[in-house]
Amino acid sequence: METKRWIIDKDSPQKEFIDEAAALLSRGELVAFPTETVYGLGACAFNPEAVMQIFEVKGRLPQSPLLVHVSNQTQVKTLVTAIPAPARLLMEHFWPGPLALILPASAQVPGAVLGGKTTVGLRMPAHPVALALIEKAGPIAAPSANLSGRPSPVSAQHVLDDLGGMIAAILDAGPTGAGLESTIIDLSLDRPEILRQGGLPVEELEALLGCGLKAWSSAKPAYKTGDMEIILGEDGGLWMSLMTEADRDETAIVHYGEIPALGMAHSIKTYTLNLEGQGQNLFAIIREAEAKGYKKLIFAPLPSALSGVGRALAERIRRAAGRQ
Ligand code: TXA
Ligand code: MG
């Protein structure tokens, strides 16, 4: 199949593209769309056959539940059996935004979305294109629009590199904002827990809820990056020896702003990753280095004191290097 690509205006999405994309979703097709975190691979949340195609196309295990994307509170009410007070508070403060809430699922949510669970993950994305599409098509079940195990896509081209020819269409609104997936909080338990650190700093959730939150770091396999190896220079010594041995035609390095003591590395390709600011580009760097044919991507030692999104990024870097 040929994947249709609509170049759409981020701030005032063209109505005809939204209408056509929504029509495809209502016919059971898959449409990739931008959010403020990463691109999502959407299917109509109430169409189990369409939802099952998501797993097929991504090569994702069906036990792995999908987040349902909503654009208003009426949709939320149809998807859950209860909205506890902390959930309401979080929605009021952080939605639309990079936060997904796990709540008890209503009987309306197809089993295919839930992967055997009794809870559903909800997210209201802060992206005009995503919101316009959901408003038109209704709730959309969507994982990140990458092949299972690959870094999440932060541009339409990343999506097409992984899924081109396998999905009906993509709404291309350029690069996403945060470039890191949403933070996930489980509110179906007696005490809320963080299931994934992401674009919304855990500190902000703790400040609003007035309690400390347990943050899980589920050990996930390293990202699939073809024949490029990702290495984390865990301490200064290892980093320096990696630098001295590095073959400059085959190696690229990533540092975090202040140029580290590069030794002989001045002629090696370097990427700068901002561990603190917005517009994180970790996944874009990994995908670009792989596409350029580097065999090794070496990350500088991570600073010990990290907060906010930096902590979530450090977690992804450790995962990338198989260090979880
Ligand atoms: O930023 C994001 O969250 C992006 C954009 C597209 O919204 N989506 C995304 O989806 O990252 P995905 O499927 O790649 O990651 C969602 C994670 C998965 O690890 C899934 O297992 C978990 O959320 N999840 C979803 N529903 C859940 C539930 N009911 N209970 C526990 N974990 C859940
Ligand atoms: Mg994903």
- pLDDT for 263 equals 52
CA of 68 to the centre of ligand 1 (A): 9
Share of the chain above pLDDT 70, in %: 97
CATH class of residue range 229-320 = alpha beta
What is the average pLDDT value for the chain, to the nearest integer?
94
Section 44-59 average pLDDT: 98
Section 231-257 average pLDDT: 86
- Which ligand has the nearest atom to the CA of 181? 1
Distance CA 35, CA 282 (A): 17
Section 180-192 average pLDDT: 95
Residues near 266 by beta carbon (within 8 Å), at least 6 away in sequence: none
CA of 2 to the centre of ligand 1 (A): 27
Range with the poorest average pLDDT among 177-186, 260-269, 295-304, 308-317: 260-269
Instruction: Provide the 3-class DSSP secondary structure of residue 215.
Output: strand
255 or 25, which is more confident: 25
Q: Which of 61, 106, 176, 181 to mutate to test the pocket of ligand 1 (most atoms within 8 A of CB)?
A: 181
- pLDDT for 262 equals 57
10 has pLDDT over 70: yes
- Is-contact 109 47, C-beta < 8 A? no
Span 265-307, pLDDT tens digits:
567 899 999 998 766 799 999 999 999 999 999 999 999 889 8
User: May I ask the CATH architecture of the domain 4-215?
Assistant: Alpha-Beta Complex (3.90)
Span 78-124, pLDDT tens digits:
999 999 999 999 999 999 999 999 999 999 999 999 999 999 999 99
Span 206-241, pLDDT tens digits:
999 999 998 877 778 999 999 999 999 987 788 888
Cα angle for residues 109, 132, 61 (degrees, 5° grid): 40
Q: Which is nearest to 157 in space by CA: 144, 174, 142? A: 174
CA of 144 to the centre of ligand 2 (A): 4
Section 11-34 average pLDDT: 98
- Which ligand has the nearest atom to the CA of 54? 1
Q: Domain extents for the chain?
A: 4-215, 229-320
- Which ligand has the nearest atom to the CA of 162? 2
Q: Which is nearest to 255 in space by CA: 245, 244, 265? A: 265
Specify the residue with its C-alpha closest to ligand 1, atom 13: 143
CA of 33 to the centre of ligand 1 (A): 15
CA of 288 to the centre of ligand 1 (A): 24
Specify the residue with its C-alpha closest to ligand 1, atom 3: 182
Cα angle for residues 163, 122, 125 (degrees, 5° grid): 65
R_g of the chain, CA atoms, integer Å: 20
- pLDDT for 265 equals 53
Q: Which is nearest to 66 in space by CA: 113, 23, 107? A: 113
CA of 267 to the centre of ligand 2 (A): 34
Distance CA 11, CA 130 (A): 11
Lining residues, ligand 1, CB within 6 Å:
35, 37-38, 40, 64-67, 100, 102, 117, 119-121, 123, 125, 142-144, 181-182, 184, 195
